[in-house]
Structure 1
């Protein structure tokens, strides 16, 4: 048989038995496509072409389970999984390990490369309408040419494939269960959250998209708008509207109406698709649902096990999910807590019944000003270097910083690598006493009498006075030990582009969600500066600005979601 199958074929894909010589040499299905494995009975067929609704061809492959390789249309039907490729990835490598694993478990496992990448025709539209319709075309193909059971179809994907799995399930009722790993909730929040672009990851995405795919010019134009400090308000609105159409959070009502069982995996240090918008979307879902959150950068936890056939906590849980909702296995995953999380650094695994969890409470601290530098006889110490995070409101004051220099406060000195090392247990540190006073300001809380278990997104209630129409603050939350060394807990940023100079404005925003245990004897510190490689500045190179923080008198505050210690 030939492995180059067109959608005009009129029979179920089948495989042949291995010859005695082939059985002796057999190692993996990928080495002998079209041949039934003498080891486990599965079969791998490559070089398939899925015909889309608009006449394009998408590259695909399929693993067939044992007893599903005969090619007989009258044979048994199997639960089936559609794997959707990540950004700039391809079907010929990305999910081979998981596909084979699930085929051994009795699933038809078909993978395809999204349009515009590698050998799939068309242009990259970033989860646009055509990309979403391709999900249905792939299901059509799977039902027509494999022994897939139309009542037991699931989808899975990492990153780009995760978003398309969710968007596809909102449009196609045939998807009964899905696993969305390292995906996004609201794309606008990820590309231009709080009016701040992400130049590091936008650069990676556009460069890889142009190198390994054929990008729609519209996509590149919106990337340029996001990074352009001179973009107009109308352009910013158009960018957000374009992103909204590509956001699973915008189709929650459709998902709730169709009720697919939704499994989500997210990594805390995912700086391209932070957990916040996914958690917000998850809280609105009324479908059967479950989410796992753990340390890791974008796709780092899932990708290796997707490519290679090996056990993995997230994929293993996804398999339990599919076994229950597509096979009917009574494994109790439907009655387990909806949230499983692993803490940053501590590797403590916890569960919560839902999100937001009823047992979490908010702990608020007022942001009080540092004031002028002065020597205080009452404590024989210098004051004015730091402000405070306190249960008591201090006197009103103004703390001004400028963007002349960066400070030692950072999301990591090395883009991507620092977050990768942090996910492996190597923290990002900053000596708090080295933070430049003119370019940064820190607010310290009291020494903790007991551990503080932070669970979720810290919220900053803030008022500022920009010196000009545009400016930015980057916020860092630290765990500070008695020696003054701060371990980065989480971070966030917000920019302003069209402010009235000198006028006070609300500048509140959420930091990235995290699970972190602050030990007794240490203290929280909130640091602001105006520069970080992860957050694109809203000004031209060399353009000066200052940001004045209104503090004290209950104007500004930090609220931290915590899990009480009983």
Structure 2
């Protein structure tokens, strides 16, 4: 059957021009305005998918896809959108039946015209209505990219309004879903709109400040990716471009840094977690261990504060890599399969048991071991404290007929106090990966970042080795570095790498982290503790851990201008510095 859309409706002005003759063939009742027509015999004979034949009811499963829609925002902008309808919701005639619905919010630089088509088709086959839209400023959607601004979050509610006005959706059974940018906005919108009863936030963020300037360290690699793609495929707000570049400026003032952090606060789900908890949506989160754009630590901190029905899935992968292909093409996928079960439970009321399962599901890096934890923080985990003891000066020890001073130690016992100084004259072979983005992508397919520990320059790097592990160790979570340092000048940085080292000295990178200082008193001892990125990793028996520090890495923005020298003196021994590792 055909359908019509009134020209005067505030969400779809000029719908006949947008949708063509199909949209204006015949009038229907106002409470259901989006519909599709039956396939002709010729169309039915050659029918493949709803996406190939938009506006036509599938003769196979009764679903239908309507594209090239426009949603008008509260401030008059037009956002591109599409709708998938399940069998029974495609006629365009109000029949009284109501269906659960999900709004899909596009990722950064992506669009409704392709990003979620696979998942939308799957959901339609399972009885869901879905609306996907492109966020303002990208592709055909009007406006500028302001990064999860007030207007962006109101757009989520407008998309829900649109779904209620033009489809037979059940207003009590509405959810949202998104990858990356769409994930963050799903969480933020759930704090404002009580109609959101369940959501799936995949590869999103918890605290945007952590991603912009966490531990006073910017992320030049992924900032360049975001700015470049935003400027290529959208219209960036000049203020966003300026602010992003300011975070990379080593000469930024404390006031400028504070302004950037203040800008990030209302764009952070962690800042509105109380409102999310008050609204009680059921929150499903998907997070990838090697997500260097939005680290898992920030997401886990948010997850800990949620008192809603909640579940998190943690697995190897870089930002969005696990979810995106299945979103487009509807292939079997661990994360989306869990999200689908989540929506079935909380939007359809299916007693599938996911609400009674452990709240944390994880897959280990490289080993692909699947496990569950009851919640986060997990009571199943224990804390292993290794005290960082100094390497001291280079010397020959006749008692062991060996050189000492090349490496420090990490032991359950505290050693004598000492100082280890490194400088930034050169980088070392310790790295998060020799090729930005590509190296960490290779990790996700089983190609680790490897380094021989003896190749790390002594003057520019320092390593602390733990004892050989007779029983191995199952690392689960974020290793914590307790540290005191003495910067040689007001600004400097340490990058930390945790390695799994074999008997020959080859180390496999487990995880990493960094911290910088910009306004220190030169020579004054300061607390410099920080967390490494959370990970699930199994260290085999017979191997040992090594904690390495240097002063530079392409993933972490330097706090100094090129050629500017500094040194960092680490205080070790006497219980001053330690590495705490969560394990099960």
TM-score (norm 1): 0.98
Shift in Å, 1:317: 0.6
Shift in Å, 1:391: 1.2
- CA distance in 2 between partners of 1:235 and 1:361 (Å): 40
- CA distance in 2 between partners of 1:51 and 1:182 (Å): 28
Correspondence 1:203-218 to 2 at 5 A: 203-218=224-239
Cα pair 1:185 1:278 within 8 Å, conserved: yes
- CA distance in 1 between partners of 2:138 and 2:363 (Å): 34
Aligned to 1:309: 330
Aligned to 1:293: 314
SS of equivalent to 1:119: coil
2:60 aligned with 1:39, yes or no?
yes
- CA distance in 1 between partners of 2:40 and 2:510 (Å): 58
Aligned to 1:240: 261
Shift in Å, 1:445: 0.3
Shift in Å, 1:452: 0.4
Q: How many aligned residue pairs are there?
A: 563
Aligned to 1:104: 125
Q: Please, what is the CA RMSD of the aligned residues?
A: 1.1
1:540 to 549, 561, 566: 561
Cα pair 1:478 1:487 within 8 Å, conserved: yes
SS of equivalent to 1:31: coil
Correspondence 1:152-167 to 2 at 5 A: 152-167=173-188
Shift in Å, 1:110: 0.8
Shift in Å, 1:26: 1.2
Shift in Å, 1:7: 2.6
SS of equivalent to 2:120: helix
Shift in Å, 1:392: 1.3
1:472 to 493, 511, 515: 493
Aligned to 1:57: 78
- CA distance in 1 between partners of 2:196 and 2:239 (Å): 30
- Structure 1: unaligned runs, 5 residues or longer: none
Q: Once the two structures are superposed, what CA deviation does each residue of 1:269-323 show, in whole Å capped at 9, x if it has no partner?
A: 0000110010001001000000000000000000000000211110011000000
- CA distance in 1 between partners of 2:535 and 2:333 (Å): 22
Shift in Å, 1:2: 8.1
Aligned to 1:501: 522
Correspondence 1:407-426 to 2 at 5 A: 407-426=428-447
Shift in Å, 1:74: 3.5
Correspondence 1:246-257 to 2 at 5 A: 246-257=267-278
Q: How has the CA–CA distance of structure 1 residues 497 and 2 changed in structure 2, closer, same or farther, with 3 Å as cutoff? A: farther
SS of equivalent to 2:311: strand
Cα pair 1:79 1:326 within 8 Å, conserved: yes
Q: Once the two structures are superposed, what CA deviation does each residue of 1:39-88 show, in whole Å capped at 9, x if it has no partner?
A: 11100000111111111111000100011101123431100010000000
- CA distance in 1 between partners of 2:521 and 2:440 (Å): 36
2:445 aligned with 1:440, yes or no?
no
Correspondence 1:453-472 to 2 at 5 A: 453-472=474-493
- CA distance in 2 between partners of 1:391 and 1:102 (Å): 53
- CA distance in 2 between partners of 1:139 and 1:445 (Å): 54
Cα pair 2:102 2:128 within 8 Å, conserved: yes
SS of equivalent to 1:439: coil
Q: How has the CA–CA distance of structure 1 residues 453 and 3 changed in structure 2, closer, same or farther, with 3 Å as cutoff? A: farther
2:571 aligned with 1:550, yes or no?
yes
- Structure 2: unaligned runs, 5 residues or longer: 16-29
- CA distance in 1 between partners of 2:114 and 2:409 (Å): 52
TM-score (norm 2): 0.95
Cα pair 2:79 2:136 within 8 Å, conserved: yes
Aligned to 1:284: 305
